[in-house]
């Protein structure tokens, strides 16, 4: 198993950078594709649904899993040759037909992400999270 996974990013490297996620059973899920081709195919399916263009980025799996844990997201690994067994599994290979409005996604800031992680966290915890976010952006 490779130690890098592929994720979908919108506006990579900009202040408005965002990672693609799904809402499944009340959880925010970030897809971690083993194969770049699977991630590219998913990105094209999103574009066909009028999403902004997503770029596929290879990131160390440990780093993105840590990011997801810190942000309160669930990292869902999509291995090569994955075959869905349930309706939820199918969402790991193709986006849902109905999606949340993407018109305002760029308005989200890292401050909102930080406050969503733990609204009452200490200043040092928020500083640590901000430092991790900057190091993760540096990987891109």
Helix (H) or strand (E) holding 54: strand 54-60
Write out pLDDT tens, residues 108-128. Answer: 433 333 333 333 445 555 565
| Sequence ranges of the domains in the chain | 4-89+107-139
First to last CA, the chain: 21
> CA angle, corner 10, sides to 41 and 111, nearest 5?
145
Write out pLDDT tens, residues 40-70. Answer: 999 999 888 888 899 999 999 999 999 999 9
pLDDT band at residue 104 using 50, 70 and 90 as cut-offs: very low
User: DSSP 3-state assignment of 6?
Assistant: strand
φ, ψ dihedrals at 89, nearest 5°: -60, -35
**Per-residue pLDDT, 89:** 80
Span of 55-59, 73-77, 93-97 with lowest mean pLDDT: 93-97
User: DSSP 3-state assignment of 50?
Assistant: coil
**Per-residue pLDDT, 137:** 59
Contact 27, 74 (CB under 8 A): yes
Span of 37-41, 72-76, 86-90, 116-120 with lowest mean pLDDT: 116-120
Both tokens of 134, joined, read 């900057």
Return the residue matching tokens 């592929």.
6
């Amino acid at each position: 198993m490779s130690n890098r996974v592929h994720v979908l990013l919108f506006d990579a490297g900009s202040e408005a950078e965002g990672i693609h996620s799904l809402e499944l059973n009340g959880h925010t899920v970030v897809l971690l594709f083993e194969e770049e081709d699977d991630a590219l195919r998913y990105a094209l399916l999103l574009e066909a649904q009028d999403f902004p263009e997503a770029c596929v980025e290879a990131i160390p799996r440990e780093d993105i899993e840590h990011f997801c844990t810190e942000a309160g997201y669930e990292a869902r690994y999509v291995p090569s040759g994955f075959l869905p067994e349930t309706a939820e599994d199918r969402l790991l290979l193709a986006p849902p037909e109905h999606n949340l409005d993407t018109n305002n996604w760029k308005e989200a800031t890292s401050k909102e992400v930080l406050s969503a992680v733990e609204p009452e966290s200490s200043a040092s915890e928020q500083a640590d999270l901000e430092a991790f976010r900057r190091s993760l952006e540096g990987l891109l």
